[in-house]
Amino acid sequence: MNNFQIIFPILVIIVLILKLYLNHRQAKSIKSNFNQVPKYFQSHIDLNTHQKAGKYTLAKLSLNNLDIIVGSILMLVFTVGGLIQFIDNAISTNILTSPLSHGVILILAISLINMLCDIPFNLYSTFGIEQRFGFNRTTVKLYLLDNLKAIILFAVIGVPLLYLILWLMNIMGSFWWLWVWCTLSAFNLLVMLIYPTFIAPLFNKFTALDNDELRTRINNLLHKCGFKSNGIYVMDGSKRSSHGNAYFTGIGKSKRIVFFDTLIKQLSFDEIEAILAHELGHFKKKHIVKQICMSFFITLLVLFILSLLIKQAVFYNALGVTNITNYNALMLFFIVLNIFMFPFAPLSSYLSRKNEFEADDFAKENSNKDALISGLVKLYRENASTLTPDELYAKFYYSHPPATARINNLEKHL
């Protein structure tokens, strides 16, 4: 047994305890503020609605606690517990195939086990928690169809990509990581390009915004901000959930603006325009481009680190695997990557929150500030977002500023 065989389980347990501790802090903060609506929101959100948001968040935290525990146990079973090695040996013994197909089958088998373990949590989240709090509109039939489509999509796109990655790792020598990075970067750009037109419509119906007044107001805002899109669409998000949202999708000429139909019903035209101005702020501040570049850089760095470990026997042995192969290295590395990336979560969340503040500032300059505030408050209320998060929890997990901090920033004079 080498030192890493001891260190890795300890790290898994440390991260597990830290995640549970953060969830505990979040739950404690919600409970301690359960009977008091924050001062600013008292005229907009009543106590019953505030308490519903608290109960909703607590229910999700309880489920997440169990998910974290099961995920940590599964990670240890896969690695130091020897499950990957067992499946690897079973494929070698019972399936006559090429090394390339062997690797694909092994990765698919591990992915299948992960997916099966996730199903109970997804089912309870959708038909338990979301149903109990009045948000779920997904039927069992729709749930099954969604998952079937996702599996087919992975089989058509994901499996060939996996074959290509393993093939490049086998034939491109010591610089395989650079070739794989180029391939993944090109693939991700292609997906961003085709997603609005070919992938998203497999799961939702998109119709052109048909309200003339709202469309005119949005087009004027787009022209003012110098943004060109391939259309303004409304998505039938209400067939799955009553939560509302809006987003940009696509790149280049395929860019689309998408509103959930639930959001259209929840907000006034002034509020919708202000929310869109916030999203345009991300475009004008080049947040999306920066995020794509950062994602590509991190992928390159991760693949380079993997290239340094791929021939090191200690890396495999410490994680319960004896066969030194490219596919085992790839799988092991991405299984344990989350453990080593977790300490960087506060930095990632901080940068994301910084972008949100900048987008809000842009919206203040180019739309009605009061409409943006009232629209956000409505979304907090309708989506049952907690108004009293724990500060440390928010630093790790919140990609958007907490409600009070965000409103305070919007209230500041330019």
Mean pLDDT of the region 164-188: 95
What CATH number is given for 203-283+356-411 in this structure?
3.30.2010.10
pLDDT computed for residue 120 by the predictor = 96
- Dig out the tokens for 312 from the structure: 């090191």
pLDDT computed for residue 55 by the predictor = 96
Judged against a pLDDT cut of 60, whether residue 398 lies above it is answered with yes
Distance CA 128, CA 130 (A): 6
Angle between helices 326-341 and 3-32 (to 10 degrees): 40
Tokens 């920033």 — which residue? 409
Distance CA 14, CA 360 (A): 37
The candidate with the shortest Cα–Cα distance to 8, out of 322, 338, 348, is 338
- Dig out the tokens for 135 from the structure: 């948000």
pTM of this structure: 0.91
Relative to beta strand 232-235, strand 246-249 is unpaired
pLDDT mean across residues, the chain: 91
Determine the distance from the C-alpha atom of residue 90 to the mean position of all C-alpha atoms in its chain, rounded to a whole number.
34
224-248: per-residue pLDDT in tens?
888 877 788 899 989 998 888 888 7
Count of helices and strands (H, E) across the chain: 18, 4
pLDDT computed for residue 111 by the predictor = 93
Alpha helices per DSSP H over 79-156: 83-94, 99-124, 131-132, 140-153
pLDDT computed for residue 40 by the predictor = 85
Q: What is the percentage of the chain residues whose pLDDT exceeds 90?
A: 69
The candidate with the shortest Cα–Cα distance to 238, out of 207, 214, 268, is 207
Write out the DSSP string of 182-200.
Answer: HHHHHHHHHHHHHIIIIIG
Distance CA 279, CA 257 (A): 9
Judged against a pLDDT cut of 60, whether residue 123 lies above it is answered with yes
pLDDT computed for residue 414 by the predictor = 53
The residues, ordered by sequence, that sit 6+ positions from 232 with a Cβ below 8 Å of its Cβ are 208, 209, 215, 218, 219, 256, 257, 259
Judged against a pLDDT cut of 70, whether residue 413 lies above it is answered with no
Tokens 């109970």 — which residue? 120
The candidate with the shortest Cα–Cα distance to 182, out of 195, 193, 168, is 168
Among 157-161, 191-195, 254-258, the minimum mean pLDDT is found in: 254-258
| φ/ψ of residue 385, rounded to 5 | -80, 135
Tokens 């949590």 — which residue? 121
CA dihedral 102, 104, 110, 111 (to 10 degrees): -160
Q: How buried is residue 328: exposed, middle or buried, by Cβ count under 10 Å (0-12/13-18/19+)?
A: buried
Domain ranges of the chain: 203-283+356-411
Distance CA 219, CA 210 (A): 13
The residues, ordered by sequence, that sit 6+ positions from 389 with a Cβ below 8 Å of its Cβ are 26, 29, 30, 398, 402
> Could you give the maximum distance between any two Cα atoms of the chain, in Å?
70
Q: What is the percentage of the chain residues whose pLDDT exceeds 70?
A: 99
Determine the distance from the C-alpha atom of residue 111 to the mean position of all C-alpha atoms in its chain, rounded to a whole number.
18
- Dig out the tokens for 410 from the structure: 């919007």
